[in-house]
A and B are shown apart, each in its own frame.
Chain A
Amino acid sequence: MGVASKIPVYLEKAPGGGILVTSIDKILNWSRASSLWYMLFGTACCAIEMMCTGASRYDFDRLGMIFRASPRQSDLMFVAGTITHKMASRVKILYEQMAEPRYVIAMGGCAVRGGPFYYDSYAVLKGIDKVIPVDVYIPGCPPRPESLMEGCLKLREKIRKEKMADWSSDSAK
């Protein structure tokens, strides 16, 4: 990706430069969307559903999604389960360890907004988006495997619409 990572720098300067690279965009997006390797990271109940989705019946592999144990090798992080204050800083570290481009799916009520532990709990973080950016939210407690799949398809849609011209501004943030 040596050359490709420099492209956005030149694109910025040329007005309408995005037109030049639409085909490359398509190829890159296609390849990214079709092999989303996800990090095996689950904290609570939703992780069991994530495991089920990865296993025999629902079979994530047909979307080209394979689990990796290390954040360095993964493109996608499912925040599956409750994140407590104690865990929040670790989630942030994990997110920062992932190589760009990286995506996050907040799975389950807990990751979205604290879920059943919103009230009366002194330990639970109320929404993972307070710590890291989230691409797709999947509500449910736990979401069924089908809705998890749906969420992944939505993420793929999102990736397909990405433009190379947006990259540099993205990483500048």
Chain B
Amino acid sequence: MDEKELHIGEHQEQDEQNPVARELHTEEFLVNMGPQHPSTHGVCRLLLTMDGEVIVKVEPYIGYLHRAIEKICENRIYNQITPFMDRFEYVSSMLADWVYALCVERIGQIEVSPRAEYLRVIFGELQRIASHLIYWGVFAMDLGAVTPFLYGLREREMIMDLFEETCGQRLTYNYIRIGGVSQDINPGFEQKCKKFTSYMCQVLEDYETLLNENPIFLSRTKNIGVAPPELSVAYGVSGPSLRASGVNWDIRKDDPYGYYEKFEFEIPQGKNYDTWDRYQARVIEMRESCKIIEQALDGLPEGDPTFKMRASFKLPEGEYYARIESSRGEMGCYIVSKGEKKPYRLKLRGSSFNNLMIIPEISKGLKIADLVAIFASYDIIMPEVDR
């Protein structure tokens, strides 16, 4: 065969001058990753165009978990919607409940009792830790270490116990409701929770010794998948991934909701904007969450955190886009109410939706193994993307 015929691809011209590259140059080919793939965290399909081992192009195909939650919610009364929010973002269900409750409260001008607000903060932050623990374990597992996965889920079970004794569920809590929370905490919860946070702070040190100096872990994360701040902002990346890109943006501080103004905590920011920073941002965030929980437990006011209302009520006319800082970033809920018992339109914004969009951009020119690391570091979960 004529030698030239073999050279099909974009880099043909440069390669022509370089004899070694001409020898090694291969045809571009397609690799299909997913929808069932352990490191796509759910059902996402990535179509990779490869040049040898190097990624030329990544094309995500989504929608394998599109369950039409928005359509369903248009046909349900307001109180029936909360369970769907749990399922919209099941890794941090509490926070998904919260954003929905927040949106309805802002439209209906519903007052929330201080105790309920404090409980929301406590449970929201516990949920954030639980979600980051899954992230931590799964991230390490994608890089080839199985032990962290077992450690991470061991600690998560403790949080599950706290949730279970309060609201009776392990995953889909339906705890944060419109106007308050579904029930008060049991006596003795504070002590258990404090015990957990102090334990968690110790364990985090173990975690850091386990991974932070591991040369394989370092070489697979440092300087891989650099996302500069301008790019991240342009693509609408949010949450710890955005902060790892060096942008100081946390909705808890910058567009406060609940009682977050009352608590002191720090926001970690990355310097190198790489996969390592994104990992580190979450580990530090867990520690900050522990701090917030402790402050909230100390200041927990007395009162009734539940809210009494009719099962089906009419929400006044109006519309609002509420957003909170979930464990992955900005989670938004947009409701258009026409003064009826059901929302006229409900739109959900999952942070992974935007976070996934940037991955093709920053993974060009890397290897497949790096793509796995980047994908895991953005903490993409599919229900948020597909809804």
Contacts and interface: CB of A to CB of B under 8 A. Distances in A.
B68 A55 contact: no
B10 interface: no
Interface stretch (B148-156, B199-207, B253-261): B148-156
Interface stretch (B84-92, B121-129, B182-190, B326-334): B84-92
B235 to A, nearest CB: 25
B169 to A, nearest CB: 9
A141 to B, nearest CB: 7
Contacts of B151: 56
A3 interface: no
A50 to B, nearest CB: 11
A10 interface: no
A52 B153 contact: yes
Contact of B63 (A45, A71, A86, A116): A86
A122 B63 CA distance: 13
Given A55-B154, A90-B64, A122-B68, A43 B91 contact: no
A84 B64 contact: yes
B42 A124 contact: no
Interface in A50-92: 51-52, 55-57, 69, 71, 81-82, 84, 86-87, 90
B71 A120 contact: yes
A41 B36 contact: yes
Contacts of A123: 66-68
A45 B90 contact: yes
Contacts of B69: 117
B345 to A, nearest CB: 14
Contacts of B154: 55-57
Given A82-B65, A87-B64, A48 B157 contact: no
Chain A residues touching B, range: 35 or more
Contacts of B66: 84, 86, 123
A134 interface: no
B312 interface: no
A87 B35 contact: yes
A92 B86 CA distance: 28
Contacts of B63: 84, 86
Given A120-B68, A123-B67, A56 B150 contact: yes
A105 to B, nearest CB: 16
A48 B90 CA distance: 8
B150 A116 contact: no
B87 A94 contact: no
A49 B154 CA distance: 13
A47 interface: yes
Interface in A114-138: 116-117, 119-124
A68 to B, nearest CB: 9
A142 interface: yes
Interface in A1-48: 39-45, 47-48
Interface of A: 39-45, 47-49, 51-52, 55-57, 69, 71, 81-82, 84, 86-87, 90, 94, 116-117, 119-124, 141-142, 144
Interface of B: 35-38, 42-43, 63-69, 71-72, 74-76, 83-84, 86-87, 90-91, 134, 149-151, 153-154, 156-157, 160, 170-172, 382-383
**Interface pairs A-B: 3 shortest CB-CB:** A55-B153, A45-B90, A56-B154
Given A49-B171, A82-B65, A90-B36, 14 more contacts: A43-B382, A45-B86, A45-B383, A47-B42, A48-B90, A49-B170, A51-B134, A52-B157, A56-B153, A82-B67, A117-B68, A123-B67, A123-B68, A141-B172
